[in-house]
Structure 1
């Protein structure tokens, strides 16, 4: 058994999530174990179970945290002082920026599939998509069909998926991202 951490280094939920995120990015869900996460953190695996009842709940904690960050970007943009079309453009660009600046998180959020956690992660994804759709509906000058908002979302996701791994950050794809967003806006608002 690993020696207990000193009080100044008590195990926190954030420490567990950080280590688990690293492992989930590097390995498939089935190959990540609570024991190995604990080993990397220098604690007993029982200490992790104090914070998370199982590996699926830990995975969901990671996904939920990442979607909360993305949701805050949408909320902050909607509350801005710019005109509605500018806010809509910014939401689309910030979605792409989030995906390309946080590629490992984006992959866990939108691209990793596992039957043990799909229902949990899909709840967070659906809630995030609802926030996105509500923002798009509120900012568009016309009544949009659900399929149009979904198509815009999938188009942005496709852009991130295409550039993920080929660029290190948003700045490296900023020009094509801006062009893509203008293309999506033109289709959505015309």
Structure 2
């Protein structure tokens, strides 16, 4: 019987993300992650030399996907970005919840600057570079509400359409 190839790095990221989301970054040790996986700490360190590297490995795919959605949306209507953004948050739901719950970990890992840049790019896509404070407030409500909706349990397709309509209404009000 052929042996299935296991992506150990992906397994480590998945288990660590679950533990970090449940217990917090600071309260979760790499020993716990290794024990949960049934591997040695040395094996874990082979894939991720530090806890910071592990968190970066967990969060970076979310940041990369949002970056792709932002790049694809430049010069287009905000609806395209909002739809793509909802889908990214939904796809990375567990990681996004981890980010929201443990912002201090992001600051320690220098990921906060990357996320703040992401926010500025989001404003440029939604309301332009010379946006007024009122426009920025509308964009903040639209994107924040959309994020929260993507994290809400329920029938995703119906909820997605309603969330997008509400975000667009917030921008246009």
- Specify the TM-score bucket, using the shorter chain as the normaliser: 0.7 to 0.9
CA distances 1:90-126 after superposition (whole Å, capped 9, x unpaired): 11222223324432122123x1125344342312312
Tell me the CA shift for residue 163 of structure 1: 6.0
Question: Does residue 145 of structure 2 align to residue 158 of structure 1?
Answer: yes
The TM-score, its normalising length taken from structure 2, stands at 0.76
Gaps of 5+ in 2: none
Match of 1:46 in 2: 42
Match of 1:62 in 2: 58
Match of 2:81 in 1: 91
Aligned mates of 1:162, 1:91 — CA distance in 2: 15
5 Å-filtered alignment, 1:1-190, equals: 12-78=8-74, 84-85=76-77, 88-109=78-99, 111-113=100-102, 115-120=104-109, 121-136=111-126, 140=128, 143-145=130-132, 148-149=135-136, 151-161=138-148, 164-167=151-154, 169=156, 171-187=157-173
Which SS does the other structure have where 1:115 is aligned? helix
Aligned mates of 2:61, 2:30 — CA distance in 1: 19
Higher Cα Rg: structure 1 or 2? Answer: 1
Greater Cα offset, 25-34 or 8-17: 8-17
Aligned mates of 1:150, 1:15 — CA distance in 2: 39
Superposition misfits of 4+ residues, deviation over 6 angstroms: none
Aligned mates of 2:139, 2:49 — CA distance in 1: 37
The TM-score, its normalising length taken from structure 1, stands at 0.70
Gaps of 5+ in 1: 1-7
Aligned mates of 2:165, 2:116 — CA distance in 1: 27
Tell me the CA shift for residue 129 of structure 1: 1.9
Q: How many residue pairs were aligned?
A: 170
Query: RMSD over aligned Cα, in angstroms?
Result: 3.1
Aligned mates of 1:130, 1:95 — CA distance in 2: 14
Sort the Cα spacing of 1:36 and 1:154 in 2 relative to 1 into closer, same or farther, 3 A.
same
